[in-house]
Amino acid sequence: MKKILIITFILVFSLNLMAQTSESRQANPTDVASIDAIMKAVYEVISGNAGQKRDWDRFHTLFHKDARMIPTGVNPNTGIATARALTPEDYIKRTESVFAKEGFYEKEKARRTEIYGNIAHVFSTYEAFHSLSDKKPFIRGINSFQLLNDGKRWWVLTIYWQGETPENPIPKKYLKNS
């Protein structure tokens, strides 16, 4: 009987932990108080040296429970543009092995922001480096953030991005703040 109670307790406790969403985790108020703050927090939390463990708990607190991260690109064999919607957890699974081997520092170069009511769209031009001492980025592109302010804080709903290619350079207007 005691064994059944212990197993039941463990099962209920485990289900309770799994039921937690990003909305039930407490964000650092300074990370989500403004658009500037949440943008800074996103770039900080994914950046680090090779092998440096990212703060995935902090990462989760930035994202709405229904958030998606959507990388895009052109299939080199077909020439067709594609996109793949990931949950923040899918993103972690996809990047952890890469971050274990390679440094990755993503920095915002320029930003254009549109706000209406409780929603914001942020076009954020980024540069990525393997090391803080690198002078030249190994990749650049644009992150399209969709943000929601619920009246208490900002949430990331979507990050939709495309890397720069020789065939599709970043237009000059997106290389400076508007």
Nearest to 159 by CA among 59, 81, 78, 75: 59
Element of type H or E holding 33: none
Number of CB atoms found within 10 A of residue 123's CB: 16
Q: What is the pTM of this model?
A: 0.85
Q: Domain containing 91 — which CATH number?
A: 3.10.450.50
| pLDDT tens-digit map of 8-59 | 334 333 334 344 444 457 999 999 999 999 999 999 999 999 999 999 999 9
Give the structural domain span for 19.
Answer: 2-174
Structure tokens at 5: 């109670």
Q: What confidence score (pLDDT) does residue 178 get?
A: 83
d(CA 173, CA 100): 35
Q: How many domains does the chain have?
A: 1
